[in-house]
């Protein structure tokens, strides 16, 4: 069965970086794009970008360009999302999601509180 | 970016009610519109893709319609487990956007 398992919660200080992993199983890893979506406390869903695990190609939301990097390691079927120069506004739950027509499978979410 | 506007922002209803949520795009997105259900502490769940296609395993009381700029999600007979926040999402543009969400509460 398809599963996306994300890394655990990380507390960060302002100015730091965070790198969240998402390990896929149960399907052909290189056959589907992987997207990242976040939800800040009390806010809605926000799309951050996607990566093509086959080619490594990426497309980032304008808001995050220059601060976000999405990468993949095909040998372990894992994608990564790194966000730099964190501020309190980046406090959120971060999700990876498999892209088909819509996001049919999601990771469990990774909480990243940013606080001094 | 394409702006997605949902209405209403919140809604109270009884179990058994028929409920409709609307989503309007700031420009035509053809039928590149998906709907998700989100409950606190869980990952969002895909309900409808391509405006009207029911995702596998989703109850048939959920339906979607629309094209161009105007879309609707309808729940034909609300069940207790349907109380959640619902989001539309456009994937027409390379810059994907979500609506702001509609919170569906028990009356």
In this predicted structure, the answer to whether residue B59 has a pLDDT above a threshold of 90 is yes
In this predicted structure, the answer to whether residue A77 has a pLDDT above a threshold of 90 is yes
Residue A51's pLDDT band, with cuts at 50, 70 and 90, is very high
Average pLDDT, chain B: 97
DSSP B24-73: EESS--TT-EEEEEE-TTS--EEEEETTTEEPTT--TTEEEEEETTEEEE
In this predicted structure, the answer to whether residue A35 has a pLDDT above a threshold of 90 is yes
What percent of chain A lies above the pLDDT cut of 70? 100
Query: Cα torsion for B71, B76, B82, B84, to the nearest 10°?
Result: 30
Q: Tell me the average pLDDT across A28-49.
A: 97
What percent of chain B lies above the pLDDT cut of 70? 100
Helix (H, G, I), strand (E, B) or coil at A29: helix
Q: Tell me the average pLDDT across B69-97.
A: 97
Q: Tell me the average pLDDT across A82-104.
A: 96
Q: Tell me the average pLDDT across B14-39.
A: 98
Contact call for A61 and B95, based on CB within 8 A: yes
User: In whole angstroms, what is the distance from residue A81 CA to residue A51 CA?
Assistant: 9
Residues of A whose CB is below 8 A from B53: 101
Q: What is the pLDDT of residue A18?
A: 98
B101 part of contact set with chain A, CB < 8 Å? yes
In A, minimum Cα distance to B31 occurs at A101
In this predicted structure, the answer to whether residue A87 has a pLDDT above a threshold of 90 is yes
In this predicted structure, the answer to whether residue A72 has a pLDDT above a threshold of 90 is yes
In this predicted structure, the answer to whether residue B81 has a pLDDT above a threshold of 90 is yes
Average pLDDT, chain A: 97
In this predicted structure, the answer to whether residue A42 has a pLDDT above a threshold of 90 is yes
Q: How many CB pairs under 8 A join A and B?
A: 57
């Amino acid at each position: 069965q398809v599963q996306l398992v994300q890394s655990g919660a990380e507390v960060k200080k302002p100015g730091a970086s965070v790198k969240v992993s998402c390990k896929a199983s149960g399907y052909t890893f290189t056959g589907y794009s992987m997207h990242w979506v976040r939800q800040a406390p009390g806010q809605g869903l926000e799309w951050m970008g996607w990566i093509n695990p086959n080619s490594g190609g990426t497309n980032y939301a304008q808001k995050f360009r220059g601060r976000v990097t999405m990468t993949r390691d095909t040998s372990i079927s894992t994608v990564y999302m790194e966000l730099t120069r964190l501020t309190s506004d980046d406090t959120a739950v971060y999700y990876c999601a498999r892209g088909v027509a819509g996001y049919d499978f999601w990771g469990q979410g990774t909480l990243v509180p940013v606080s001094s | 970016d394409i702006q997605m506007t949902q209405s209403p922002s919140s809604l109270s209803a009884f179990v058994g009610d028929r409920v409709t949520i609307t989503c309007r795009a700031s420009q035509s997105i053809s039928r590149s519109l998906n709907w998700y259900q989100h409950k606190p502490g869980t990952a969002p769940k895909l309900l409808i893709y391509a405006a009207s296609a029911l995702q596998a395993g989703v109850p048939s009381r959920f339906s979607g319609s629309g094209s161009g700029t105007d879309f609707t999600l309808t729940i034909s007979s609300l069940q207790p487990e349907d109380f959640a926040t619902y989001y539309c999402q456009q994937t027409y543009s390379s810059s994907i956007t979500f609506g702001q969400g509609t919170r569906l509460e028990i009356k």
